[in-house]
Amino acid sequence: MKSKPHIAVIGAGAFGGWTALHLLERGARVTLLDAWGPGNSRSSSGGETRVMRGTYGPDQPYTQMAARALKLWQKYERRWKRQFLHRTGVLWMAPAHDDAFERGSVKTLRAAKIKFQELSSPQMKKRWPQIDFEGIEWGIFEPECGYLDARASCQAVVEAFTAAGGKYRQLAVLPDGLEDTPLRGIAVSDGSRLKADRYVFACGPWLGKLFPQAVGNLVQPTKQDIFFFGTPPGDDRFSDRHLPVWGDHRGRFRYGIPGALTGDARRGFKIADDTRGPAFDPTSGERAIDPETLRDIREYGDSRLPVRTNARQSFHHRPPSNARKRVDRRWRLRPRLQARSRSRRDDGGIGLGPARGRCDISAG
Ligand SMILES: Cc1cc2nc3c(=O)[nH]c(=O)nc-3n(C[C@H](O)[C@H](O)[C@H](O)COP(=O)(O)OP(=O)(O)OC[C@H]3O[C@@H](n4cnc5c(N)ncnc54)[C@H](O)[C@@H]3O)c2cc1C
């Protein structure tokens, strides 16, 4: 009888964890290693939440992967009897004269059979009166997408992997000799060597350092700050019961995730700017926020999602300046923050994890 191939997967983030699980389910013997653990705070997958979407613009492979990943999230959530994908819907706001991203997405969403609606500005205003749609002409709404519990889902994948007989070890792979051909084992941080038949390196922003010749600057980690805001006590208009995830491409790409009403991650309401930040070392970089970015995000939040104090006020106009000052103070109540590193390479994102593992297998 042919023995099982032994595959070592290095990195237990969204991509490595799912790859290891799928390989195991396909009959391989799998050892999974991670320097700091699945969903650790240095990793790209280590945030509280991440957006799961199908809209990625024209001519890209991610929408098809998202369609497959949506099915896999459903399958594994049922199997594990746990929810990680919160299907709040994702709303893309398209400005009148700069909507190539959204226009291009319509075709790819249709081809991938991801459900979506095209909404006019009046339809959006009626449905989400807590959002100020100034400058927005139309939108795409993906009702079956939403946000993921990022860190928690990475940890659950590794729990499922070990429960199914996979071997997980918290060890760092050392860069020594990794680019030798053939690769005869890898050196790990406890001084031992690990030998396998095949190796999968899913080390996200660390890949360039581990493989300076093969990868090098193709992966350039940068720093981006993300912010969590508190809303007025008892006001759930900005919670995931009433607000979708949204993406806003006007000028720069900012996005938001509503606050969770249930579950572990009640961190408040998240807003982030997807613009690539300065170069960053994912191991030793200082994870302090940039005050400029905080100021910009507050201004953006105040204008796009004003916490209106007067329910009778027209939703089409901003509140008068004195009301606006009150709004500002409320936004300043409890900002929380996270800083993360991200590679310049666009990998499509964490939501594609289940489908990414599948791709890795078929490619191998
Ligand atoms: C701020 C921010 C916001 C984002 N928002 C979204 C979003 O809303 N939606 C979305 O889909 N995507 C989003 N992304 C992208 C998404 O998070 C990433 O695409 C995804 O998490 C990448 O996963 P990964 O497994 O490739 O990398 P990582 O999660 O970084 O995993 C790599 C793993 O490798 C381990 N490792 C590194 N070096 C070694 C070594 N030498 N030995 C052993 N282990 C090692 C690390 O500890 C880590 O756990 C965001 C990313 C960032 C940074």
The Cα-based distances of 66 to 61, 74, 89, 306, 308 in angstroms read 9, 12, 14, 32, 35
Tens of pLDDT, residue by residue over 150-181, are 999 999 999 999 999 999 999 999 999 999 99
Return the minimum-mean-pLDDT range out of 120-134, 137-151, 296-310: 296-310
Reply yes or no on whether the pLDDT at 266 is more than 80.
Answer: no
Q: What is residue 263's predicted lDDT score, i.e. its pLDDT?
A: 58
Return the minimum-mean-pLDDT range out of 9-13, 93-97, 107-111, 145-149: 93-97
The residue-averaged pLDDT of 123-146 equals 96
The residue-averaged pLDDT of 83-89 equals 96
The pairing of beta strand 245-248 with beta strand 90-95:
parallel
The residues near 48 (Cβ < 8 Å, ≥ 6 apart) are: 149, 150, 151, 228, 265, 267, 270, 338
The residue-averaged pLDDT of 190-215 equals 97
User: How far is the C-alpha of 238 from the C-alpha of 131, rounded, in Å?
Assistant: 9
Cut 0.75: pTM above it: yes
CATH of domain 61-148+221-346: 3.30.9.10
Q: What is residue 183's predicted lDDT score, i.e. its pLDDT?
A: 92
The answer to whether the CB of 226 is under 6 A from ligand 1 is yes
> Which pair of tokens denotes residue 91?
């709303």
The four Cα atoms 323, 328, 331, 332 give a dihedral, to 10 degrees, of -140
Reply yes or no on whether the pLDDT at 316 is more than 70.
Answer: no
Q: What is residue 264's predicted lDDT score, i.e. its pLDDT?
A: 58
Q: What is residue 268's predicted lDDT score, i.e. its pLDDT?
A: 80
The four Cα atoms 231, 336, 87, 89 give a dihedral, to 10 degrees, of 70
Ligand 1 centre distance from Cα of residue 178 (Å) = 21
The DSSP element (H or E) to which 32 belongs, if any, is strand 29-33
- Rg (Cα) of the chain, in Å, rounded? 22
Q: What is the DSSP letter of 204?
A: G
Ligand 1 centre distance from Cα of residue 249 (Å) = 23
Placement of tokens 């990680």 in the chain: 84
Confidence of residue 262 (pLDDT cuts 50, 70, 90): low
Placement of tokens 């023995």 in the chain: 3
Q: Please name the residue whose Cα sits nearest to atom 11 of ligand 1.
A: 349
Domains of the chain by residue range: 6-45+152-217+353-363, 61-148+221-346
The answer to whether the CB of 73 is under 6 A from ligand 1 is no
Placement of tokens 């899913």 in the chain: 202
The answer to whether the CB of 35 is under 6 A from ligand 1 is yes
User: How far is the C-alpha of 10 from the C-alpha of 7, rounded, in Å?
Assistant: 10
Q: What is residue 348's predicted lDDT score, i.e. its pLDDT?
A: 73
Q: What is residue 236's predicted lDDT score, i.e. its pLDDT?
A: 84
The answer to whether the CB of 45 is under 6 A from ligand 1 is yes
Phi and psi at residue 135, to the nearest 5°:
80, 0
Mean pLDDT computed over every residue of the chain: 85
The architecture of the domain spanning 6-45+152-217+353-363 is: 3-Layer(bba) Sandwich (3.50)
Q: Which atom of ligand 1 is nearest to the CA of 14?
A: 25
Tens of pLDDT, residue by residue over 283-304, are 999 999 899 999 999 999 989 9
Ligand 1 centre distance from Cα of residue 347 (Å) = 10
Ligand 1 centre distance from Cα of residue 45 (Å) = 4
Ligand 1 centre distance from Cα of residue 118 (Å) = 31
